[in-house]
Amino acid sequence: MNTLSSVKERLFNGIIKENPTFVMMLGMCPTLAVTTSCINGLGMGLTNTVVLAMSNIIISSLRKIIPDKVRVPAFIVIVASLVTVVQFLLQAYIPSLNDSLGIYIPLIVVNCIILGRAESYASKNPVIPSLFDGIGMGLGFTVGLGLLGAFREIIGYGTIFGYDFLTLINNLIDKISKSPSFNIEPIRIIGLAPGAFFVLAFLVAIQNKVKASKGKKSNDMDKCSGSCTSCKGGCVDE
């Protein structure tokens, strides 16, 4: 019973309380790069979940064997091997996803969520909670990427999962109003590279607003919260 409650707690923690995309703002490079469509976001999120769950299991079971001084290189090698395996599986079974994610799959190695969880959770806790910590965090990341991808796909291209609902709506409007000149156009820029920056900017702004209303300090990436790996890859005291 005790394990069950800790499993639930880990899953809740990963998906809601410490959601990597919306709350912790981790792994921003893939978040911006692959969320051009909902399916890409979900694919990236699930790939990360698999790697995260497996790396947490391995690192947690080896936590007493890996010497403390070389733990980060050891983690990187473990994660890199897993990413290579996963990349092969994707190439074999879901080649379309592999093509659309491209270079961002091997770059999972330097994703700070994975090394961050290895460092802060899996290297200190038993196997079962670590596994569910990985699954929870991964699913939280998947939800975040899926939502952002869906948003950008709907606004930027007028489709969802590749299904063109905008033409449908436009046809409907034409039928009702009988004036064929009126059409809803997608805001293409949201689907392109600049749109990724804009969407993330508004996301952080909303987060700041929520935090301000709760009386917490606002999120500031200059304080090293938004870097690529192990969350220390981008800050210098100026």
Using CB under 8 A as the criterion, which residues of the chain lie in contact with another protein when the complex forms?
A: 28-29, 32-33, 73, 76-77, 80-81, 83-84, 87-88, 102-103, 106-107, 109-110, 189, 192-198, 200-202, 204-206, 208-209, 212, 218-222, 224, 226-230, 232-236, 238
Mapping DSSP onto H, E and C, the string for the chain reads: CHHHHHHHHHHHHHHHHCCCCCCCCCCHHHHHHHCCCHHHHHHHHHHHHHHHHHHHHHHHHCCCCCCHHHHHHHHHHHHHHHHHHHHHHHHHHCHHHHHHHHHHCHHHHHCHHHHHHHHHHHCCCCHHHHHHHHHHHHHHHHHHHHHHHHHHHHHHHCCECCECHHHHHHHHHHHHHCCCCCCCCCCHHHHCHHHHHHHHHHHHHHHHHHHHHCCCCCCCHHHCCCCCCCCCCCCCCC
Nearer to another protein, 17 or 188 (CB): 188
Nearer to another protein, 85 or 184 (CB): 85
Nearer to another protein, 31 or 49 (CB): 31
Smallest gap, in angstroms, from Cβ of residue 218 to another protein? 6
Smallest gap, in angstroms, from Cβ of residue 171 to another protein? 32
Smallest gap, in angstroms, from Cβ of residue 156 to another protein? 13
Smallest gap, in angstroms, from Cβ of residue 106 to another protein? 4
Nearer to another protein, 115 or 122 (CB): 115
Smallest gap, in angstroms, from Cβ of residue 65 to another protein? 19
